[in-house]
Structure 1
Amino acid sequence: MERRRRPPLRGHNLVVVPHQTRAQRLRRQLLTLLVLLSIPGAGWLGWDAALRSQEAVRAERDELAVALAQTQLDLEAVSQQYRQVEVDLLVSRESLKGSQVMIHDLEQQLFRVQQDLAVYRGSLSPRAMAPGLRFQAFELQGTDEPGVFRYKVMVTRVGNEADTTQARLFIDVLGEEGGEPASVPLSSMTLAEDDGGLPLDFRYFQVVPANSQDSELSLPQGFTPKQVRLRVKHNDKLLVEQTFDWAVTAGS
Structure 2
Amino acid sequence: MAVVKGSKQPRMIVVPYRPWRRITLTLLLLIVGCAAVYGSYWYGQQQNHSLQEEVIAERDRLKVELVASTDEADRLRQEVVNLKLGAQVDRKASEGVRGEVLELKSEIAALQEDISFYRGLMSPSDNERGLTIGSLNVISTGAPRQYEYKLVVQQLATKHSLLNGSLQFNIVGRQGEQLVTLPLSDVSDNVGSKNIKLRFKYFQTIEGRISLPTNFEPERIELVAKSTGREPVVVEKKFGWLVQES
Query: Measured at CA, do residues 34 and 243 of structure 1 come closer, stay the same or move farther in structure 2, by a change above 3 Å?
Result: same
2:220 aligns with one of 209, 217, 227: 227
Report deviation, 1:220: 11
Counterpart of 2:102 in structure 1 is 96
Report deviation, 1:104: 1.4
Counterpart of 1:14 in structure 2 is none
Counterpart of 1:23 in structure 2 is 29
Report deviation, 1:111: 1.7
* Counterpart-to-counterpart distance in 1, 2:183 and 2:67: 71
* Counterpart-to-counterpart distance in 2, 1:184 and 1:70: 69
Q: Is the Cα contact below 8 Å between 1:108 and 1:205 reproduced in 2?
A: no
Report deviation, 1:75: 2.3
Counterpart of 1:70 in structure 2 is 76
Q: Is the Cα contact below 8 Å between 1:156 and 1:205 reproduced in 2?
A: yes
Q: Is the Cα contact below 8 Å between 1:153 and 1:208 reproduced in 2?
A: yes
1:178 aligns with one of 165, 172, 176: 176
- Where in structure 2 are there 5+ consecutive unaligned residues? 1-21, 139-147, 163-168, 191-199, 225-235
* Counterpart-to-counterpart distance in 1, 2:216 and 2:77: 58
Counterpart of 1:143 in structure 2 is none
* Counterpart-to-counterpart distance in 2, 1:85 and 1:208: 42
Report deviation, 1:84: 1.6
Paired residue secondary structure (2:112)? helix
Q: Is the Cα contact below 8 Å between 1:138 and 1:244 reproduced in 2?
A: no
Query: Measured at CA, do residues 122 and 223 of structure 1 come closer, stay the same or move farther in structure 2, by a change above 3 Å?
Result: closer
Report deviation, 1:114: 1.8
Q: Is the Cα contact below 8 Å between 1:174 and 1:229 reproduced in 2?
A: yes
Paired residue secondary structure (1:21)? helix
Paired residue secondary structure (1:118)? coil
Please list the CA deviations of residues 177-213 of structure 1 after superposition, one character each: whole Å capped at 9, or x if unmatched: 4324567999xxxxxxxx876xxxx99558899xxxx
Aligned length: 174
Report deviation, 1:74: 2.7
Residues 8-47 of structure 1 aligned to structure 2 (within 5 Å): 19=23, 20-47=26-53
Counterpart of 1:191 in structure 2 is none
* Counterpart-to-counterpart distance in 1, 2:182 and 2:56: 86
Counterpart of 1:124 in structure 2 is 129
Query: Measured at CA, do residues 70 and 221 of structure 1 come closer, stay the same or move farther in structure 2, by a change above 3 Å?
Result: farther
- Where in structure 1 are there 5+ consecutive unaligned residues? 1-17, 129-133, 141-150, 164-170, 187-194, 210-218, 232-241
Report deviation, 1:83: 0.8
Query: Measured at CA, do residues 33 and 246 of structure 1 come closer, stay the same or move farther in structure 2, by a change above 3 Å?
Result: closer
- In the alignment, is residue 156 of structure 1 matched against residue 153 of structure 2? yes
Paired residue secondary structure (2:109)? helix
Identity %: 13
Q: What RMSD, in angstroms, separates the aligned Cα atoms of the two structures? A: 4.8
* Counterpart-to-counterpart distance in 1, 2:102 and 2:213: 31
Paired residue secondary structure (1:174)? strand
Q: Is the Cα contact below 8 Å between 1:157 and 1:205 reproduced in 2?
A: yes
Which residue identity lines up with residue 155 of structure 1 in the other structure?
V
Counterpart of 1:84 in structure 2 is 90
Q: Is the Cα contact below 8 Å between 1:226 and 1:245 reproduced in 2?
A: no
* Counterpart-to-counterpart distance in 2, 1:34 and 1:86: 76
Report deviation, 1:222: 8.6
Counterpart of 1:11 in structure 2 is none
